[in-house]
Structure 1
Amino acid sequence: MTTPFGYVAAAVAEITGCFAFWAWLRSGKSMIWIVPGLTSLAAFACLLTLVDSAAAGRAYAAYGGVYVAPLIGLWSVERPRADRWDAIGAAVCLLGANVILIGLRPA
């Protein structure tokens, strides 16, 4: 699995799982929403183990930066909408994730 795909798939799974719990606890949905929530969160954990990284901490740190990018898309359907500071912050996070992933390290 390629690293960018792994991070994107993990982010989608995490957001989906968290949304399922949000829907149950905050939107009055049935407890049955826990099932897809748990399934999505388990998929998130499994997907993140598949990315190419020499260390778990590095993988999770880089994922944190990648995770922010989909939030810009979510803001497009929510209120309040993203502003320039949200976009700049997301760009900084993505830049940081790339530094972690692509940074030159001694062999």
Structure 2
Amino acid sequence: MKIFGLFLITTLAEIIGCYLPYLWLREGKSVWLLVPAALSLAIFAWLLSLHPAAAGRVYAAYGGVYIFMAILWLWAVDGIRPTTWDLVGSGVALVGMAIIMFAPRSV
């Protein structure tokens, strides 16, 4: 559960770091949004380094959590309710993440 929580926080840092420049570029918001965006992306990179598994495995599994969080962001921030297919796809991605991160290994 600790690893999954770390993934959620890491994902949130990345999404915020990417969403703020989107607001500046696409929605005409202040260029000053780039400051917290850069900070959020720096935090994202630092959080990735806290994961206990090998970097490649973390990056692969992280993609599944990112998909799940992006769908939640779609609903919570963009105000668009996910479709059944959005939820099924997110579930499949989370199962893939769990297989990558929690499968038994000899090494």
Is TM (by shorter chain) over 0.5? yes
State percent identity of aligned pairs: 41
Equivalent residue number for residue 82 of structure 2: 82
Task: Tell me the distance in 2 between the aligned counterparts of 1:5 and 1:106.
Answer: 25
Alignment of 1:1-107 (within 5 A): 2-53=2-53, 55-77=54-76, 78=78, 80-107=80-107
RMSD: 1.4
Query: TM-score with structure 2 length normalisation?
Result: 0.90
Q: Which amino acid aligns with 1:69?
A: F
Task: Tell me the distance in 2 between the aligned counterparts of 1:100 and 1:79.
Answer: 31
Which has the larger displacement, 65-74 or 41-50?
A: 65-74
The gaps in structure 2 that reach 5 residues or longer are: none
Q: Which amino acid aligns with 1:65?
A: G
Number of paired residues? 105
CA deviation map 1:26-50 (0-9, x unaligned): 1111111110000000100100110
Task: Tell me the distance in 2 between the aligned counterparts of 1:52 and 1:103.
Answer: 14
CA deviation map 1:43-81 (0-9, x unaligned): 00100110110x211000011111111223222243653
Task: Tell me the distance in 2 between the aligned counterparts of 1:4 and 1:82.
Answer: 22
Task: Tell me the distance in 2 between the aligned counterparts of 1:79 and 1:43.
Answer: 26
Q: Which amino acid aligns with 2:69?
A: P
The gaps in structure 1 that reach 5 residues or longer are: none
Change in 2 beyond 3 A, CA 1:79/1:6: closer
